[in-house]
Amino acid sequence: MSASEEENGPGDDVKDPVLDDQAPRAASCAGGACGCGGAGAREDAAPALWRNLDELQQSAAFQQAVENEFPRQAVPLGLGVDRRRFMQLMGASLALGGAAACTKQPPEEIVPYVKQPEEIVPGNPLFFATAAPMGGGYALGVLATSHMGRPTKIEGNPEHPASLGSTDVFAQASVLGLYDPDRSKTIVNAGRIRTWEAFVDALTMELATQEGSGGAGLRILSGAVTSPSLAAQMTAILARFPLARWYQWESASDRSAVLGSRAAFGRDVSVRYDLAKAQVVVALDCDLLGKGPGAVRYSRDFARGRRVWESAPEGTAPGTMNRLYAVECTPSPTSTLADHRLALKPAEVGAFAAALAAALGVPGAAAPAGWNHPEAARLLPVLAKDLLAHRGSSVVAAGDESAPELHVLAHAINAHLGNHGTTVLLGEPIAARPTDPLADLEALVAELQAGKVEALLMLDVNPVYDAPPELKVADALLSPAARLRVHWGLYDDETARYCHWHVNAAHYLETWGDARAYDGTVTLQQPLIDPLYGGRSAHEVLAVLENRPGTGAREVVQGLWQPRLGGEPQWRKAVHDGFVGGSAAPAAGAGVNGGAVAAAARTITEALAQQQGYTLAFRPDPSAWDGRYANNAWLQELPRPFSKVVWDNPVLVSPRTARELKIDDGTSDGLQGRRAAVLRIEVDGASIEAPAWVLPAQADGVLTLTLGYGRTRTGKVGKGVGVDVNKLRTRAGFWSRAGAAARATGDRYELASTQGHFLVTDPAGVERPMVRRATLAEYQRQPELMHEAVEAPAHDMTLYPDWPYEGHKWGMAINLSACTGCNACVVACVAENNISVVGKDQVFRGREMHWLRIDQYYAGDYDAPSAVLNQPVPCMHCENAPCEVVCPVEATTHSFEGLNEMTYNRCVGTRYCGNNCPYKVRRFNFYKFADWTTESLKLQRNPNVSVRFRGVMEKCSYCVQRINAARINSEREDRKITDGEVRPACAQACPTEAIVFGDINDAEARVTAWKKQPLSYGMLEDLNTRPRTTYMGRLANPHPELEEKA
Amino acid sequence: MAGRDLEAQTAVAEPEVHQESLLEKGGYHRPGIIERAPVLAPGHTAGSVTDKISSVVLSGTPRWFYPAFGLAFTLTMVLFASLAKLFWEGTGIWGVNQPIGWGFAIINFVWWIGIGHAGTLISAILLLLRQEWRTSINRFAEAMTIFAVACAGIYPLIHTGRPWLAYWLMPYPNTMGLWPQFRSPLIWDVFAVSTYATVSLLFWFVGMIPDLATLRDRATKRVAKVLYGMAAMGWRNSAKHWHEHEVASLLLAGLATPLVLSVHSVVSFDFAVGIVPGWHATIFPPYFVAGAIYAGFAMVLTCTIPLRRAFGLYDFITERHLDNMGKVMLATGLIVAYGYGIEAFTAWYSANHYETFMMWNRFFGPYRFHYYALLLCNIVAPQALWWKSVRVSPVKLWIVCMFINFGMWLERFVIVVVSLSRDFVPSSWGTYHGTIWDWATFLGTIGLFLSLLFLFVRFMPMISIFEMRTLATEAQLKELPEDDGA
């Protein structure tokens, strides 16, 4: 995989014939008005008669006032169309719609390349290193696959420290975001489509006014920024407008971490962990492995410490395993791997941290008086002992959604244990300007209300939707003084509606940029395609403010980095690599302020006292995040961890709380979907109604609400999906809010979930050995333990002779001790294999199309499960495949390399194979699920995988197209396929390296080594299917003093 | 068959009825000899039989026919509408899903195929066993077989995702160079069902030829004469014709006899070959065959009893027929009950927890009421057939038959849906409900069945005239010496 040396990517010099008509940007305005000065409003000649000076001069402000039908109010951006106009439009649409349908496609000339561009070989994809933006403005280094100029798939950048070749769900799904037909496609002013030049003129005119006052009326609101180029532009803008202000707003922000580090260290410090060295990890309300800019890397490092059969990470003894303690209010992917897990209310998690700090002897720490929790009391001394035994090799991490005090305590504990510098690395801040986004937004709102803001530029933020309602952002935006409000974003969203101008943004795959990774590494973003809808980058918009209109994003980014890196070759190398080597944040020495610890402990004790009613816990959604991915159908259809609900954000409640609220879980004996009880949640006058999902691992008395739903203005995918929970957020109750009341309304709401709540244990008390598990100690005592539960049939229990695999014999092994259930593999599979989205209704009917699913089982008590087990289930490619014998038309057959293959063209759709598959991994196209009509989505498809038609069965193919590509490459180079050369999309995406694929005939292959381990077992191997996908039994490493089967 | 013993017991239980009827007939009581009700009411001659049966066809349409046929035909149109919707949109209009890939279509297929079995059994096996009582119901039951197979045959075709390619299941030389996959039970189904349909159709038609000739000769209208004439294929009542007809019938009966056993055995392989708990059982072939005959007789009675009344055919379809068919149902019903018992026993005895769970799930799972209803309909309700008073009472017998029709449908529902809904991996369990289109298609095939049946009874001799003539002649011959003695 080598990225092109061409630093400007294919987008700039390679024209895809499909895209050519869209590629050239509208350089001139329509109707020959170009060159006359842009804005259509000024096309008219000056009036002969006039009433005032403004009118004579035709100033922009005057024009705006004239156009504004309802002065002093929201600009009616096409809000209402009167009846007459409606009839005209509808009539015209009908007539023209019919006419268009009769029109033949215009004959297109297809011209072959006169000069074949270097590197482009039709059919061979190219890979370009770029940066996928994540929440909080961070970047994940990725490689984008480009097929003939179309980005089709995102992979991790193996060289990039935050990725090491893996990705998270959002990066995987971002390629669909590029082709989203609902993206904002034009620049809009007051409901009318305008040109970029018109926008530049309008902005320049306002800036000219602002320049006089030093920018006293100019405000910029952006998301959190780590991008050095953007920061440099901001600096330049603030130099030009000294009185202007730059605010940052992020709904799902790391605010608590910022405040915590300020309190603990007295300054801004970035924190990252080296989990490869950590023997004991304590996650305090922290989804260390599932969320945040470092999650991908953390997962990788943490999982190394779980693979006891492979060579141990440096600094650890062979055969040892790290240990994870999770204390949290709502289950997270991280805690599914926890060896000890404790579900507590958010305030109690604080109390636990304080008690832990006190038990460890952290100076200034005091256990909260009067807090008594039997399970915590049992766990605390053991945990303290364990931590003290691992000074310098432990990590205590507090989550972004916890209180700042928890961060203070975590810092103090880490400092006390000597973890700073070894497993916990403190560095200079990574954000361009670390802020408390809530304070920023409050300040902006106050200024808006005070009429101090005249021009407001909002860069990809949506505060109208996602800010706490008490800030009254929408009202403030309508402040009459704010005469120019500009919104730049990918979607014409709720906030855009309150702005005069909306500028459509370019997707990250369409433009240049940069951002820092979790460790500060500067990650460069290069375009793979010309903006599909002529979107602009933030750099271009800010360049206007810098008084450098017309400066492109590339000039900005290259202009910053080329001199810094020392020349064009270095710049080219950095673009090629996707990041600037050695640009990680320098280490920062910082001592923890003892007074802060005492203060934190006090605050925690106070918070503990105010625990009446239910506590609301807000979380970024695993699919929609803060709402920015709400229109991504892949993410919407991704079964959320734990509930496996799709297309909704139910309130998560524990079984005990559900009984208290007198609601059931809405299942009628195992329906796939549920008729969930609707809860009315009230707190201080604000209320929402949302369906409840009873989640066993949830803390009692805590209602978890996820952000990002109930969008009123986004694309057709995300609009109206779920419930907007921002209505219940306040400044004080930003992440958790106590004192809520909840009651069942008596209504029912249908939730579609891909998995029912079924127990692994039969009524007869027999546990179905889907997930086989043991503790490390048990396993070391008795390595064959995993095979005791199930009798695998003898190898010769078949009438047919074994197939002699002379060449390759593909196989897969999945490490259940590492899988967090993060879903990255699932969405990677969707992207790679052109898997259709079917929508909520079809999922409710049990017709989801995912080839790979992650089964989740609970172990132990329903009210307090001892463990949550994840099991990714792709096709097992059984040697004795039950599906193959029953297909009447030989549509599913065994390949000579052991794959169970589907021949879509041959399938007539009897579904017998699906019935006979004991793993239920086959998926049927009950309808024409694939979108054959939306043009932009066609560009996304992987050209090497068929788009399936209605009525055929499909299933995991082990990404056979990748095997074939590797085969062709190896044959051309006259060599064998090397181990690791073929990686299915799931294995490639997996952050924990839980999925290993390779040739079982190759004795040296990693997969062979895994399969030889006594931990390796086949799911349902007692059926004599001889699955080719095997699992590494799940190991847990509970503390010997708390020994229980985790 | 066990029928004889059962009959003996029944007779002993209620001897008075027999004595009375014998006394009325002027017969005498011979201890130890059980007199049966006649298969043809006394007093019929060859001529009266022919008159009576052919008049049903030739004497104009009864008034009730129009609304009845109209209703059936409307339902047939519902079938076509549902098929149009299905072909236009896809199998998604049904309730099928993952994991339950088969639903109403396969349930109905098995149900209809089962119903057909009675006809073949009556016309082939009972012919070979020289059971005279079969004569009057044989033609009708055969027709029912054909129509039921026609209804059944629709389902495997339309249940596929791409019905326009369903012909790929046929072995024919093709440019793709591919044969069907002969290990798949669905291929066996293709052969079994198509053979069954062909043999049944031939048997039915060959058996009808002399009667069609009778109708040709008796018809007064020109159109009827021509059409029946063509259908009669030049039958001239010669001894040679009769001889060849007899040989052909016997040969076809010989061919059809193994089919009675094989077709439903093969259908049961669709399940038994699968590995799904609740499917994977060696008891399936005999249990399915018994179930098919059980359901088939129930359906024959369901249709015969109202027609007997509508056309006043009490003389031809006598209490003896009702009684005998009731006994067959009782016997096969007990075999089916034994099958259920063995399924449960094996599940327990195997100590395989998937199998154990399967039985547990039937009794206590989400579909438990379906299972209870099934036990009620198929095991409890037919116990009424131990009583002769039930067997000879058309109304009571009809009610029992409706229980069985419903119960046998439920049996297929339990096998297909309940087994699939919870198999091996708990994360992938699901539920199934028929949608409105599932029901519309099902009702549509019932409509098609009834329409064909109405057309048949209206235009074809629903009782074999020539065989009844033989019976009448034989009866007269038998009666003669008795008359002398009196």
Q: 3-state class of A130 per DSSP? A: strand
Contact criterion met (CB below 8 Å) for A1046 and A866: yes
**Three-state SS letters, A979-994:** CCCCCCHHHHHCCCCC
B428 contact residues in A (CB cutoff 8 A)? 755, 853, 855, 919-920
Distances in whole angstroms, Cα of residue A478 to Cα of each of A473, A492, A664, B221: 9, 17, 44, 91
What number is the average pLDDT over the span B404-432?
A: 90
- Cβ–Cβ below 8 Å for A915 and B421: no
H-helix segments, B282-318 = 284-310
Q: Which residue of B has its CA nearest to A672?
A: B430
Q: Which residue of B has its CA nearest to A844?
A: B97
When CB atoms are compared, the residue of A764, A853, A922 closest to B360 is: A764
Contact criterion met (CB below 8 Å) for A554 and A8: yes
List, as ranges, residues 896-915 from A with C-beta within 8 Å of B.
906-912, 914-915
pLDDT at B29 over 70: no
pLDDT for the residue numbered A35: 38
- Mention every residue, 6+ apart, whose C-beta is less than 8 A from residue A220: A234, A237, A244, A245, A246, A247, A456, A457, A458, A459, A545
State the Cα–Cα distance between residues A901 and B279, nearest whole angstrom.
25
* pLDDT band at residue B21 under the 50/70/90 scheme: very low
Quick one: A480 exposed, middle or buried, by C-beta within 10 A (0-12, 13-18, 19+)?
Answer: exposed
- Cβ–Cβ below 8 Å for B420 and A915: yes
Alpha-carbon torsion A604, A607, A612, A616, what sign? negative
List, as ranges, residues 158-197 from B with C-beta within 8 Å of A.
159-163, 165-166, 168-169, 176, 178-181, 183-187, 190
State the Cα–Cα distance between residues B449 and B149, nearest whole angstrom.
9
State the Cα–Cα distance between residues B23 and B44, nearest whole angstrom.
20
Overall residue count recorded for chain A in this entry: 1046
pLDDT for the residue numbered A44: 46
Contact criterion met (CB below 8 Å) for B279 and B99: no
State the Cα–Cα distance between residues A241 and A206, nearest whole angstrom.
12
pLDDT for the residue numbered A39: 39
Q: Which residue of A has its CA nearest to B167?
A: A908
pLDDT for the residue numbered B417: 93
Question: What ipTM did this prediction achieve?
Answer: 0.88
Average pLDDT along chain A, 1046 residues, taken 10 residues at a time: 42 38 37 38 50 62 62 51 76 65 54 68 86 90 90 92 92 93 91 92 90 90 93 93 93 90 90 91 92 92 88 67 92 92 90 91 85 89 92 92 91 92 91 91 93 92 92 90 92 91 93 92 91 91 89 90 91 91 85 86 86 90 91 93 90 92 72 76 92 90 93 89 92 89 90 73 67 88 81 77 88 94 94 93 90 88 84 93 92 92 93 93 93 88 92 94 93 91 94 94 92 90 90 91 63
pLDDT for the residue numbered B19: 42
Distances in whole angstroms, Cα of residue B483 to Cα of each of A14, A608, B475, B476, B480: 109, 109, 12, 10, 5
A882 contact residues in B (CB cutoff 8 A)? 274-275
Q: Which residue of A has its CA nearest to B166?
A: A908
pTM: 0.85
Contact criterion met (CB below 8 Å) for A717 and A636: yes
Q: φ, ψ for residue A484 (rounded to 5)?
A: -130, 105
Query: In this complex, is the C-beta atom of B351 within 8 Å of any C-beta atom belonging to chain A?
Result: no
- Cβ–Cβ below 8 Å for A888 and B162: no
Task: Tell me the count of A-B CB pairs closer than 8 A.
Answer: 196
- Cβ–Cβ below 8 Å for B424 and A1023: yes
State the Cα–Cα distance between residues A856 and B344, nearest whole angstrom.
31
H-helix segments, B90-134 = 104-120, 126-128
State the Cα–Cα distance between residues A824 and A879, nearest whole angstrom.
28
Contact criterion met (CB below 8 Å) for B419 and B354: no
- Cβ–Cβ below 8 Å for B102 and A907: no
- Cβ–Cβ below 8 Å for B424 and A882: no
DSSP string, B195-253: HHHHHHHHHHHHHHHHHHHHHHHH--SHHHHHHHHHHHTT----HHHHHHHHHHHHHHH
H-helix segments, A871-911 = 882-886
pLDDT at B6 over 60: no
State the Cα–Cα distance between residues B420 and B432, nearest whole angstrom.
9
Contact criterion met (CB below 8 Å) for A913 and A923: no
State the Cα–Cα distance between residues B283 and B339, nearest whole angstrom.
7
B186 contact residues in A (CB cutoff 8 A)? 886, 888, 910, 912
- Cβ–Cβ below 8 Å for B184 and A887: yes
What are the tokens at A250? 């992020």
pLDDT for the residue numbered A172: 93
pLDDT for the residue numbered A962: 93
List, as ranges, residues 407-426 from B with C-beta within 8 Å of A.
420-426
List, as ranges, residues 632-671 from A with C-beta within 8 Å of B.
668-671
pLDDT for the residue numbered A319: 74
- Cβ–Cβ below 8 Å for B180 and A847: no
Distances in whole angstroms, Cα of residue A192 to Cα of each of A41, A185, A186, A496, A526: 11, 12, 9, 13, 31
User: A670 vs chain B: nearest CA distance in angstroms?
Assistant: 6
Encoded amino acid at A464, one letter:
V
**Three-state SS letters, A10-39:** HHHHCCCCCCCCCCCCCCCCHHHCCCCCCC
List, as ranges, residues 105-144 from A with C-beta within 8 Å of B.
none
The pLDDT tens digits for B323-379 are 988 999 999 999 999 999 999 999 889 888 888 889 988 998 888 899 999 999 999
List, as ranges, residues 359-388 from B with C-beta within 8 Å of A.
360, 364-366
B90 contact residues in A (CB cutoff 8 A)? 925-928, 950-951
Interior/surface letters A858-883, b for 16+ CB within 10 angstroms, e for the rest:
bbeeeebbbbbbbbbbbbbbbbbbbb
pLDDT for the residue numbered A110: 60
DSSP string, A160-227: STTTTT---HHHHHHHHHHH-TTS--SEEETTEEE-HHHHHHHHHHHHHHHHHTTSTTEEEEES----
State the Cα–Cα distance between residues A555 and A614, nearest whole angstrom.
53
What are the tokens at A498? 């309150």
Query: In this complex, is the C-beta atom of A687 within 8 Å of any C-beta atom belonging to chain B?
Result: no
Query: How much is the mean pLDDT over chain B?
Result: 84
pLDDT for the residue numbered A68: 60
Q: Which residue of B has its CA nearest to A881?
A: B275
What are the tokens at B134? 């079969």
- Helix B394-413 to helix B284-310 angle (10° resolution) is 140
When CB atoms are compared, the residue of A756, A766, A888 closest to B169 is: A888
Q: Identify the residue among A643, A845, A887 best suited for mutation to test binding to B, counting B beta carbons within 10 A and taking the highest.
A: A845
A887 contact residues in B (CB cutoff 8 A)? 181, 184
Query: In this complex, is the C-beta atom of A755 within 8 Å of any C-beta atom belonging to chain B?
Result: yes
When CB atoms are compared, the residue of B160, B364, B425 closest to A910 is: B160
- Cβ–Cβ below 8 Å for A889 and B427: no
pLDDT at B486 over 60: no
pLDDT for the residue numbered A57: 63
What are the tokens at A207? 């800036």
- Cβ–Cβ below 8 Å for A885 and B426: no
A25 versus B43: which is more confidently predicted?
A: B43
Q: φ, ψ for residue A163 (rounded to 5)?
A: -110, -50
Q: Which residue of B has its CA nearest to A869?
A: B427
- Cβ–Cβ below 8 Å for A920 and B428: yes
